[in-house]
Structure 1
Amino acid sequence: MSKGTLIALGGGYDDDLIKLIRSEICPINSSIEIIATAATEPEESGMAYKNAFEELGCGKVQFMLIDEEHEADKPEYLERMRQADVIFFTGGDQVRLTEFLSGTQLLDIMSKRYHEEPLIIAGTSAGAAVMSDRMIYDGYGHYSLIKGEMKTTQGFGLIQGVYLDTHFVERGRFGRLAHAVAHDPHYVGIGLSEETGIIIKEGNKVEVFGTGVVTIIDASKIRFSNTRQVSENEPIAVENLIMHMLVEGYRYCLKEHLFQPVEHVPRQQAETSNTAPAT
Structure 2
Amino acid sequence: MEQLFLRTITVMRYILPLREGGSLPALAEADDDFKYVLKFRGAGHGVKMLISELLGGMIAKKLGLPIPELVFAHLDVDFGRMEADEEIQDLLKFSEGLNLGMSFLSGALAYDSSVKVDPLLASKIVWLDAFITNIDRTFKNTNLLMWHKELWVIDNGASFYFHHSWQNFETAAKTPFKYIKDHVLLPQASHLQEANTFAHGILNDEFFRKLVNLIPEDWLQWNDADENSAEIREIYFQFLKTRLKNSAIFLKEAENARG
TM-score normalised by the chain length of structure 1: 0.23
Larger relative strand fraction: 1
Q: State which structure, 1 or 2, has the greater radius of gyration over its C-alpha atoms.
A: 1
Larger relative helix fraction: 2
TM-score normalised by the chain length of structure 2: 0.24
